[in-house]
Structure 1
Amino acid sequence: MKVHRDDIGKLILRLACGILLFHGIFKVFTDIQHVKNLVIAAGLPAVVAYGSIIGEFIAPIFLIIGYKARLAALVMVFNMIMTIVVAHRAVAFKLNDFGGWMIETNMLFLLTALAVFFFGAGRYSVSGGKGPWQ
């Protein structure tokens, strides 16, 4: 069996980005009111808050299993842009007390999702890496 290092790298990237799922689980199984409050404060309708469940729970599942991975990654990129604009705009260009960028986690997920969008799912996925959104 031939080892496909690029595809293993794509799998690792998908899994690393897909751990955002754990952040979204909180919103699904507890309360999304905090997100609704942020969305309303930003001048958007409260229903927009439910998009965070799609971007932080559903899309990461698709990403982890490698189904419509490029589309899921694009949804996650949009979700991370929205989190920065809606919830973290005041600290987007600030450092924390330890010298870390205040939005480094958001940017980590945004950039890894963007990488998955360009690389695709790879052969170690439900789709086998075949199809335009894989």
Structure 2
Amino acid sequence: MKNNDLGLLIFRLSLGLLMLLHGIAKLTHGVDFLGDMFKNLGLPSFLAYSVYIGEVIAPVLIVIGYRTKLAAIVFAFTMVVAVGMAHSADIFSLSETGGWALELQGLYFFGALALFFTGAGKYAASTNSKWD
């Protein structure tokens, strides 16, 4: 039995809910530390608030299956920025156990890319737009 739509639903729920936990932590504890990181890069510190788009809004849209492709590309971009700002030294590193040091960020990034190319599937809030 093959059910791609159920698989996409499970994948959307997994990817979206796991990232949403990071967003909730930032909602709870704030993003001041990110503002400092942006400032150190010569960028305005208010850009730290954009993390809420990539870690709260995009994951919620992915979970419910609304504008999934658009949300997924925003999610993927968020991961590129996160790696560039906080994990760039580890791009070519392995962990102590032999895995890629950025395997979680990689799974988020490539998972978001997969959703961008596949869309939400039929178990979604909207399924009739080019962005679903």
Q: Tell me which interval the TM-score lies in, with the shorter structure as reference length.
A: over 0.9
Partner of 1:12: 10
Tell me which stretches of 4 or more aligned residues in structure 1 moved more than 6 Å: none
Distance 1:102 1:42, change over 3 A: farther
Q: Post-superposition shift, 1:4?
A: 6.9
**TM-score normalised by L of structure 1:** 0.91
> Using the alignment, how far apart are the partners of 1:109 and 1:43 within structure 2?
27
Percent identical among aligned pairs is 40
Higher normalized helix content (fraction of residues): 2
Matched length: 131
AA matched with 2:85: V
1:57 maps onto 2:56 in alignment? yes
**TM-score normalised by L of structure 2:** 0.92
> Using the alignment, how far apart are the partners of 2:104 and 2:31 within structure 1?
20
Unaligned runs of 5+ in 1: none
Q: Post-superposition shift, 1:12?
A: 1.4
> Using the alignment, how far apart are the partners of 2:88 and 2:115 within structure 1?
25
AA matched with 2:82: T
> Using the alignment, how far apart are the partners of 1:132 and 1:79 within structure 2?
21
Deviations for 1:57-96, whole angstroms, at most 9, x for unmatched residues? 1100000000111100010000000001111111111112
Q: Post-superposition shift, 1:100?
A: 2.1
Distance 1:42 1:104, change over 3 A: farther
Q: C-alpha root-mean-square deviation of aligned residues, in Å?
A: 1.4
Distance 1:74 1:8, change over 3 A: same
